[in-house]
Chains A and B, each alone.
Chain A
Amino acid sequence: MNLDLALLLAQDGIANGAIYVLVALGIVLVFLVTRIIFVPFGDLVAYGALTLAAIQEGQRPGTIWLVPMLAVLAFAVEAASLLHKGAAHRLPRAALVWLVLPALPALAAWPLAGRELPDLLGIVLTVALILPIGPLLYRIAYRPIADAPVLVLLIVSVVLHFAISGVALVFFGPEGGRPRPLIRAMFEIGDMIVSAQTLLMLACSALAAFGLWLFFERSIAGKALRATAVNRVGARLVGIRPGVTGGTAFLLASALAALSGLLIGPVTTLSYDSGFVIGLKSFVGAIIGGLVSYPGAALGALFVGLLESFTAFYDSSFKEVAVFAILVPVLVLRSLVTAKPADDEEDEL
């Protein structure tokens, strides 16, 4: 392999890696704040891309049905828990928060979708449709067992992915979609040709990482989220409601997923179930980066992109094998480097 070829592979790898960086940031965000490994994050990304593609093609996106359905479920779960606690007087507010508010974007999108829309409006609609999904999933699946061991939360995550992608198949259909690129320009940097879309993705990743840092380091809301992650009991004792911070974290994750979907969609054709593998590869990147730091996750995700493109050069069919197989030696290395965990959780399940 000569240098030119290596450069070519590297630029391809960075373009792929840029996809994973955004997703990895979202996954680390949710994990740090809620201890939940949010496997369906990749699905949200795919739904974002598919929603935008459908809107651009003048069709009604699957999210128009998906989101109200989740809203009804979430309200049912909330109502049941309120009635169980004997707090029926809080039902109207719950209906507003869990039923009306999340369903609003879908109601707004209904008459609009199906016509020729300006690009910007399409993007706004897409984001508005994806935003409620994270908090709704949180309310339905995770909040009832917020105190459960990480392992149980992880199983719930994996199961949730399969359940939600079964629903997505009904609403989105099996065909893939690919929205138009946001910008089409190509740049030459030295010998490398880089698409503007790749640069945009890298820029957005950097911005998102910086924005997250700002939010968590500078704002009291961000600090409250971190505090919940560090010490749940401590957080409750200063009046922070873990349910609210959890919902906020998932809202942020949704926003990141929508952004990722907008950016990734034009680069690669996505279908209802392709978010899973993208999510898991980003996840491998996040774990390589240590799962606790945003820059680490970003670097790990870039590494995954590079690994993929270099493996693909030798035999493209083995790039997935390589990405997932690399995790085992990485984890072994980490377990050798870091000290032993203090004491494992008693009764994991």
Chain B
Amino acid sequence: MDMIHAVLYIAGALMMGLGALGASIGIGILGGRFLEGAARQPELIPMLRTQFFIVMGLVDAVPMIAVGLAMYVLFAVAG
């Protein structure tokens, strides 16, 4: 494997890994805040649940793009 291919694989891995890291931090904070809110006011759980899912869609939209780009680099450019 030459140097260019090695760097491309590292780039793809970094894209996926850093995207996953960002998403996991975001979803971890989101889940923690949801539990905090649910413990504080259990009667608001239905409303919090909806917001929780919507914000999750926002949090992992950008890492999903990173996954798509990483797959392109890994399978189309390097592969």
Q: Do A and B bind each other?
A: no
Q: Which residues of A contact B (CB under 8 A)?
A: none
